[in-house]
Amino acid sequence: MRFAKKSLDLQRNDKWIPPHLLSIKEREINIQFMDYNTKRKKLPMPEYGRNIQNMVDYLMTIEDRTKRNQMAQAVIDVMGNLYPYLRDVAEYKHKLWDHIAIMTDFKLDIDYPYEPPSPDLLHEKPKRVPYNQQDIKLKHYGLITKKLIEAAIEMEGEEQRILIEQVANQMKKLYMAWNKDSVEDEKIFMDLEEISENKLKVPRDIKLTDAKIASPTPTKKKKKKK
């Protein structure tokens, strides 16, 4: 916020007076000259700030094309200095020239080193990202569990039993992460058979390990010394 000091300094012998010491009439005069951000032009790219935008606006007033090109390059260098860690990013310079075109509403007539973007690009809706929907029974066990069970269906003998036991133990951990209450092994066996559409029969002599979910320990607040 900036105050128009000159209009009031003449009344106070060229001395600036803090706003809270001004008279009501002087404050009213000051309010008329206050410069609020809300009254300024909206920044197309706020991350560069008002000063960079003023530099870009100045480019629009330069009539000589050669000088305009030189000044545009100087502004690009200043914009690059704001984010030096991005200089190694691919097409970094290309992005800066695109940004300067956006900040001038695509009206800056210079010799761009790259093809400037189209104004329609800003209003183009992003393409819909396809989401791979999977029909998973008991979704808290996840897709990987389902695939492991499908792999176990194709196995036989001891190899199948080992995989069933490993999958069941993992399912118990996932169940405890989803539901903090204790769970019986029989519940895990029934869920495994349901996911396999009863193509697997879990041997009931399998003993699952206890799944313990570590809970975060509360931090003690340090007492301030008096």
The pLDDT score that the predictor gives to residue 167 is 94
Is residue 181 situated within a structural domain? Answer: yes
Shared domain check, 146 and 92? no
Tokens of 132: 């791979």
100-109, 125-134, 149-158, 209-218: least confident range? 209-218
Shared domain check, 50 and 35? no
Is residue 214 situated within a structural domain? Answer: no
Tokens of 151: 């792999």
Is residue 203 situated within a structural domain? Answer: no
Maximum CA extent, the chain? 102
Structural domain boundaries enclosing 179: 139-195
Residue by residue, DSSP assigns 170-190 as: HHHHHHHHH--S---HHHHHH
37-51, 65-79, 140-154, 210-224: least confident range? 210-224
Q: How far apart are CA 90 and CA 93, in angstroms?
A: 8
This prediction has a pTM of 0.46
Q: How far apart are CA 81 and CA 158, in angstroms?
A: 65
For the chain, the domain total comes to 3
